[in-house]
Amino acid sequence: MDAPLTDRVRSWIDDDPDERDRAELQALLAASQAGSAAATADLQDRFSGPLEFGTAGLRGRVGAGEHRMNRAVVQRAAAGLGAWLTERFERPRVVVGLDARNGSREFADDSAAVLTAAGCEVLLLPRPLPTPVLAFAVRHLQADAGVMVTASHNPAADNGYKVYLGGRATGPEGRGVQIVPPVDAEIAALIAAVGPLRDLPRAAAGWTVLGDDVVEDYLAAVTAAVGAGTPGRDPRIVVTAMHGVGGPVLLEALRRGGFGDVHSVAEQADPDPAFPTVPFPNPEEPGALDRAVALAQRVGADVVLAVDPDADRCCVAVPAPGGFRQLTGDELGRLLGQELAAPGAVLACSVVSSQALQRVAARTGARFAAALTGFKWIARVPELTFGYEEAIGYCVAPEVVRDKDGISASLLVATVVRRELGAGRTLLDVLDDLDRADGVHLTAPVTVRVDDLAVIPATMARLRGTPPATLGGSAVTSVEDLADGLDGLPPTDGLRFRTADGTRVVVRPSGTEPKLKCYCEVVADVPAGADLDTVRQGARERLDAVLADVRAATA
């Protein structure tokens, strides 16, 4: 290992506040100096540059070193946030929350200690709780900022650090919403300016640990906003918390909504940072719902409700011929949008989500707005009534939680199921109605994972220079560069292709992972008297052809 890297590792060890992390790096350094190529490669990765602070905050593998999530990195982040706040406000109020992942407790406590020493009033959530409770608390307690220690549905090795603004720090549409530019860059600059951690002030006390009344207030607000008292036939519900922190809050929300026949997947009910039954704790991933579906089949459930580990996402499966069918994020977004649509309502989704919500808005007299990808943008839509993104994120009560919230979304889904069961119908019948009214909208992703990050900009440049002439056999009629700031939106790296038959494909780099993401959609109107299954089959064949062409174009 070269001398500059050795010096950087030793300097980090000298300044690291955590004894275990110091020992971890010392062991790796000794192994590297003894000739271990694996240890050298590990250190090179850990010191490949600081873990970047951006609009997603911080997210990375837990471990020692500048490119990992650890106490040193978190203390620097808290110091940068504290400096940003105290430069602007007198005694800013900050709410700090955490999930149950490895390191979350220490990271939350360190944040409280650093922010308190910086001059902030710090309110710490009483225990590991869902991200929506933190987002609610920022608004409810009129805090100027919020910190949530979580990596959401990332693999077990990861943790993260989300930053929200509120109170005096932002306008009405941004209160309780994650940061966006230029605030992320401003905080990042202050993080980079933090000196040696040995000199960083850390309070031993002085922050307030909130009581359970914050959870009670959240539950009361959610159940009042969703209006779960709709009559019908009470459904039998299966829920899974995916080894995260959402289980008790979700069960209590359902109980308050009058849902008494609820069955929880026992082996996934309690928080476990190892996520032992799922390699990737995202309800969208293949196999993630297997245990929930098996339980649903045993008990004869009417619906499966799954939340991800920090409970900000919601996934739904319903009985269908041959077993249970998991709804796509776009299907559920369309269904919930229909539920909340009304003249003058504002329905919003990301530019990569289905175009179906726009048709719902047009038919119902609602207003439609597109937003950049991510709830930090969707939640900022003025006068928002409902917002969603295809990655199973839904905001159904923006005055309560101006962020995606799997708890309130699950409660609304259960309410719709109850009403439809009372009429002898299911959610699939609702989707049939929507297809007949607004056309069949089929969506599917193509994801290109890369080992070399340089592949992503190279592929985007190639697509800009030589776009495909056809997609799915239909001529490409327009190529729009999202970097030009289309539709009144801020510029972002992405391309949107449209074809003569109404197909749309959006290609963009992932903001959090080393991959290129392609969002494909075909639309087929359903003529009066036409067989819906036949129209869907034709749309499916078109989509399969589009997916094949997109894979070839991005290979």
User: What is the b/e burial string over 483-494, where b = at least 16 CB atoms within 10 angstroms of the residue's CB?
Assistant: eeeeeeeeebeb
Question: Which residue matches tokens 């004869």?
Answer: 300
- Name the DSSP letter for residue 199: G
Q: Are 110 and 76 in contact (CB under 8 A)?
A: no
Number of H helices, E strands in the chain: 17, 22
User: Which residues contact residue 381 at a Cβ distance below 8 angstroms, ignoring those fewer than 6 apart?
Assistant: 173, 346, 348, 369, 371, 387
Torsion of CA 300, 302, 303, 304, to 10 degrees: -10
Q: What is the pairing mode between strands 158-165 and 323-326?
A: unpaired
User: Which residues contact residue 424 at a Cβ distance below 8 angstroms, ignoring those fewer than 6 apart?
Assistant: none
Mapping DSSP to helix (H, G, I), strand (E, B) and coil, where does residue 495 land? strand
Q: Are 172 and 158 in contact (CB under 8 A)?
A: no
Q: Are 248 and 219 in contact (CB under 8 A)?
A: no
Sheet containing 474-481: give its strands across: 440-449, 515-524, 504-509, 495-499, 474-481, 470-471
Q: Supply the DSSP string of 124-172, one letter for each residue.
A: E-SSS--HHHHHHHHHHTT-SEEEEE--TTS-TTEEEEEEEE-GGGS-G
Query: Phi/psi at 313 (nearest 5 deg)?
Result: -120, 155
Q: Are 259 and 414 in contact (CB under 8 A)?
A: yes
Residue 128 structure tokens? 């590991």
Question: Which residue matches tokens 């940061």?
Answer: 179
Q: Which of 78, 73, 217 is nearest to 148 (CA)?
A: 78
Handedness of CA 242, 245, 248, 253 (dihedral sign): negative
Active site residue 264: no
Burial of 502 (0-12, 13-18, 19+ CB in 10 A): middle
Q: Rounded CA gap, 302 and 324, in Å? A: 10
User: Which residues contact residue 411 at a Cβ distance below 8 angstroms, ignoring those fewer than 6 apart?
Assistant: 222, 223, 226, 228, 253, 254, 257
Q: Supply the DSSP string of 38-91, one letter for each residue.
A: HHHHHHHHHTSSPPPPBTTBEEEEBSSSTTSBSHHHHHHHHHHHHHHHHHHSSS
Q: What angle do CA 376, 382, 388 make, to 5 degrees?
A: 50
> One of 104, 111, 152, 410 is an active-site residue; which one?
152
Catalytic residues: 152
